[in-house]
Amino acid sequence: MNTLIPAWKKLILTGLSEDAIAFDWTARAAKLARKDTPNDIATASLIAKSDGIWAGETGLRALELVSAEMGMPLHVTSFAKDGDALTPKKKICEWRGDASSILVFERTLINLAGYASGIATQTHELVSLSRSKGLKHPPRITGTRKTLPGYKDLSIQSTLIGGGYPHRYNLSGGLLVKENHVAAAGGIAAAIANARTTAPHLLKIEIEVRNLIELKEAIAGGAEVILLDNFTPEHVREAVKLKPANVVYEVSGGIRRENLESYLIEGLDVISVGGITHSVKSVDLSLLFSNT
């Protein structure tokens, strides 16, 4: 079983609830217009209208389950798998079922699948660029925790489909000492020491630094992962010269497709990009009824 199906089901049900589908007058009118159609069975095709990477396969499985549970069963035939490239006019899948049911689910599924595919598409572009420079060890591209409440699982799944990696799943999934934690602790050395007394032994300690002076303090304090926050490419190169063999370097802050190439520096391990999930351009999708 795909363990992400429940997350998709929850989002689909939320969308249907917000749409107040019980009083969808236009769908009712369409059903009335088709009263002479045998069993009111219709077929509709989901079509891509823009380039991208498909990331809605789990959503289609969830759609079948939700529609069946609601007594409005739809059968979906897929022609694309997660990770497949989309081009305009590409047929992604076909829905078959009651015409009014198709109309009820149309917008919710398109919104979610377009958003997920947008994340996968943007991630894929960044990952492809990171591997194009021929570095011996290209940095991995990760998302961040900048996701909308309720969309975390979908966002992480889409990032993975695009070839990227997730960051910590939630606050308990990693120990990241940021600027405000350092200020509260009274300095970098104290922040690292305090973190080590509370952290589970399986978690590495990551600390955010803003300049080369703080970087040296973090290295001296025994940080295992160091986040170079808003470093310029020139400062990243200087930081790499100071890097101990057992320390992981991550860089974050304002990195996007336009400037990613300048951060592809040997010795940098991770580039985290909040824009993967917080500035998403959805893939354009359309659901069209067949003439028959």
Question: CB 284: neighbour CB atoms within 10 A?
Answer: 17
Taking phi over 0 as left and psi of -120 to 50 as alpha, with beta for the rest, 27 belongs to: alpha
Catalytic choice (10, 146, 152, 243): 146
Nearest Cα residue to 59 out of 35, 82, 29, 41: 82
Cβ distance 50 to 88 under 8 Å?
Answer: yes
Amino acid found at 236: V
Question: CB 35: neighbour CB atoms within 10 A?
Answer: 7
Cα-Cα-Cα-Cα dihedral sign, residues 166, 171, 175, 181: positive
The structure tokens 């007594």 sit at 71
DSSP single-letter state for residue 279? S
Cβ distance 181 to 214 under 8 Å?
Answer: no
| 3 state SS of 211 | coil
Cβ distance 24 to 103 under 8 Å?
Answer: yes
Amino acid found at 23: F
Q: Does 35 qualify as catalytic in the annotation?
A: no
| 3 state SS of 235 | helix
Cβ distance 286 to 89 under 8 Å?
Answer: no
User: Where in the sequence numbering do the catalytic residues fall?
Assistant: 146
